[in-house]
Structure 1
Amino acid sequence: MRQVRLAVIGTGHLGKIHAKLAKGISAFKLVGVVDPAKEAREAFCKEHKLKGYDDVSEIASQIDAAVIATPTLYHKDVALPLLNAGKHVLIEKPITLTTDDADQLIDLAEHHRCVLQVGHVERFNPAFREACKKVESPRFIRGERTSGYTFRSVDVGVTLDLMIHDIDLVLSLVRSPVVDVQATGLTVFGPHEDIVETRLTFANGCVATLTASRASFNSSRHMEVFSDAGFVGVDFTTRKVKSIVADEIVKQGVSQVSDLSAEGKSWVRDNLFSTVLPCQEIEVAPGNAIDAELREFADCIQRGLTPTVTGQAAREALAVALQVNEAVQEHRWDGGKFNLVGPTMRPEPKRVVAAKKAA
């Protein structure tokens, strides 16, 4: 099968990772990397023996596909001409800054029969994939994604930077429309929100509470899912998955537990997480999620398959993330006394009402 001629656009943190990995995947022929920042581009190309280009137009005729790892602001402008030219694209998350821009890329990809894949890479995390096997009809989900300030992705706030990962994962699990979004957030460094907490309610009754921070002294990436099949907890960093399937005594209801004798209650306490709520923990074998994502991209191009994270799936995650952002911006912190609103907690600008002209 013919190799996919690939370009990586953007030599920032993720662009460098994509280029290094793509170079080692036999399905790809890495034609070169594109970045207008000459010094950074040339240093990277020299180190990895790659060709570098200032603009994608210089290389467009030589490639079949591209990985777009530019700042989000440029995703649409870079992807648009590539899709128009019939090139397949893998765009880092979020797909774009607006749903209108996302719709335009989705329509173009469909029109030209191009693969449009989006880099919600946690879908390829081996621990998440293992956890999915133990989830059935999610009822309540808790997620937390926190880190220190890395100075990456500062063109967007923490909602589009970090939380959108978990929004995408939750949407893939629940498969029901979001009907209510509540959120609060804080700006630490600015100009965007750096800490956000949200509560999402779905049409099927499921509720998800998500926390994201890029101003935290603790780094964590974990999620807990309570479903009809039991409890599953996944640590995305350590790749550990905890699961609990309740014993019959719990399934019968709390009233049955209350009717137990003193000896029975003592037995439940002593065997709570061994028999009554048996907890199993497994450490999933390591795997490089970005490598898996790239390999799927090549496979979709060569075999005409549908990617795990389509443009439409990424658009849906973006739509919810923008609703979260809107709720963050509208949150009032003082009940209207001083009109402190949004993540900066600054007074809301007073509206100027034009005076009516005398008759």
Structure 2
Amino acid sequence: MALRVAVIGTGNMGIHHLRNYYHNPDVELVGFVEPNEKNAEKVKTKYPIEHFADYKKVLGKVDAVSIATPTCTHFEIASFFLSHQIHVLLEKPITDSIEEAEDLIEIAKQQNTLLSIGHIERFNPVIQELKNILKKESPVFVEIHRESPFDPRIYDVDVVSDLMIHDIDALYYILKRKLNIVSSTGIKVHSNKSDLVNVQLISDDNVLINITTSRATEQKIRSWRIILKDKLIEADLLERKLYLSSRTEVGKKIFDTNADHHYTQEQITAKILVKNDEPLQIEIDNFIQSILGNTILEVEGKDGLKALKLVKEIQQKIITV
């Protein structure tokens, strides 16, 4: 029997949720919620499903919902569905405040209902491969760039909540270490909130991390550069490319002995093949299969709360220049 699902909000992310549910064989897509009639008409031309102007109207018709609305509405909408034992996939950030996030987690626990948070980068095949590589060896330094052009539709959060939170969650997921803030600097470019932020973090075992996040860059960049003791990892999360450079045995000998190194290959770079799967499709499938009891939920409410706590700390410590 197919799981009955509705999508709440059909903006930039919501429309992609709709597409993935529409083609999922384990889902009956009941409909979508969109208060704006003009936007709803556009959606209905692509997906001939029922439209609801009020999210409360889907109650009794669904087993689960995806919520892709502005962050300021997350607590109200998610708490409504969780209280009625409807499973929720909630776009990041989990909520506006830590207190609201804690309340949502408690409601989900009391109602024995799944609450998953849309930290989509966990499902990026490049991040999955990085996690596998770094199980064997700890990095020394991590440099992350997440940059995009300005999008005026994102009006209720700064660049830390909007974009940097992806990398914060991915760092927790990969490194599994406590992260401490060294510095946090922001610049307002297009809005009255920080549009470009640079943060330096250090883990409890001295991994140095530098994150530059911008929504004022006229190019989309999603790059990680990881320095290990004798390796360099370069990752492009958009193009799904991953390269590993390491010193050859000859190179190690030259380094150790300071020998003559004419005409020797000291380093070698390997391209690591990664899958080209769509992260959102994997995320939604994990949510659905977790409800059906076929797998374990990958991103829980507690993960969203953990990322939100560091986001709030970074925001509090930002020095605006």
Q: Is the shorter-chain TM-score for this pair beyond 0.5, marking a shared fold?
A: yes
CA RMSD, 1 decimal? 1.9
> Counterpart of 2:192?
191
Alignment pair present for 1:169 and 2:165: no
Whole-angstrom distance in 2 between the partners of 1:251 and 1:163: 37
> Counterpart of 2:314?
324
C-alpha contact (below 8 Å) 1:134/1:243 kept by paired residues:
no
C-alpha contact (below 8 Å) 1:200/1:208 kept by paired residues:
yes
Q: TM-score, normalised by structure 2?
A: 0.93
C-alpha contact (below 8 Å) 1:4/1:29 kept by paired residues:
yes
- 2:217 is paired with a residue of what secondary structure? coil
Q: TM-score, normalised by structure 1?
A: 0.84
In the alignment, residue 42 of structure 1 is paired with which amino acid? E
Aligned counterparts, 1:112-261, within 5 A:
112-135=111-134, 136-227=137-228, 230-248=231-249, 257=255, 259-261=257-259
> Counterpart of 1:26?
25
> Counterpart of 1:265?
261
Aligned length: 319
Whole-angstrom distance in 2 between the partners of 1:280 and 1:166: 24
**Deviation at 1:108?**
1.1
C-alpha contact (below 8 Å) 1:181/1:323 kept by paired residues:
no
**Deviation at 1:30?**
0.6
1:93-138 CA-to-partner distances (Å, cap 9, x unmatched) read 1111111111111111111111111111111111221222211323
Alignment pair present for 1:280 and 2:270: yes
- 2:213 is paired with a residue of what secondary structure? strand
> Counterpart of 2:287?
297
Distance 1:172 1:139, change over 3 A: farther
**Deviation at 1:173?**
1.6
1:154-209 CA-to-partner distances (Å, cap 9, x unmatched) read 21111111111111111112212123341101011112110000001121211211
Whole-angstrom distance in 1 between the partners of 2:50 and 2:294: 29
Distance 1:157 1:293, change over 3 A: same
Distance 1:238 1:64, change over 3 A: same
In the alignment, residue 47 of structure 1 is paired with which amino acid? K
In the alignment, residue 52 of structure 1 is paired with which amino acid? H
Whole-angstrom distance in 2 between the partners of 1:305 and 1:112: 20
> Counterpart of 1:306?
296
**Deviation at 1:92?**
0.6
C-alpha contact (below 8 Å) 2:181/2:199 kept by paired residues:
no
Unmatched tracts of structure 1, length 5 or more: 332-341, 346-359
Whole-angstrom distance in 2 between the partners of 1:34 and 1:228: 51
Whole-angstrom distance in 2 between the partners of 1:20 and 1:37: 19
C-alpha contact (below 8 Å) 1:220/1:237 kept by paired residues:
yes
In the alignment, residue 172 of structure 1 is paired with which amino acid? Y
> Counterpart of 1:357?
none
- 2:209 is paired with a residue of what secondary structure? strand
**Deviation at 1:150?**
2.4
Unmatched tracts of structure 2, length 5 or more: none
Distance 1:242 1:222, change over 3 A: same
Higher deviation after alignment, 37-46 or 87-96? 37-46
Higher deviation after alignment, 129-138 or 73-82? 129-138
Higher deviation after alignment, 5-14 or 39-48? 39-48
Q: Structure 1 vs Structure 2: percent identity of aligned residues?
A: 29
**Deviation at 1:303?**
0.7
Whole-angstrom distance in 2 between the partners of 1:90 and 1:47: 22
**Deviation at 1:251?**
6.2
Distance 1:251 1:114, change over 3 A: farther
In the alignment, residue 258 of structure 2 is paired with which amino acid? L
Aligned counterparts, 1:50-65, within 5 A:
50-65=49-64
Distance 1:185 1:314, change over 3 A: same
**Deviation at 1:283?**
4.3
**Deviation at 1:306?**
3.0
C-alpha contact (below 8 Å) 1:127/1:234 kept by paired residues:
yes
C-alpha contact (below 8 Å) 1:134/1:232 kept by paired residues:
no
1:244-289 CA-to-partner distances (Å, cap 9, x unmatched) read 344456668xxx727423xx3324xx4132xxxx210134232111
In the alignment, residue 150 of structure 1 is paired with which amino acid? D
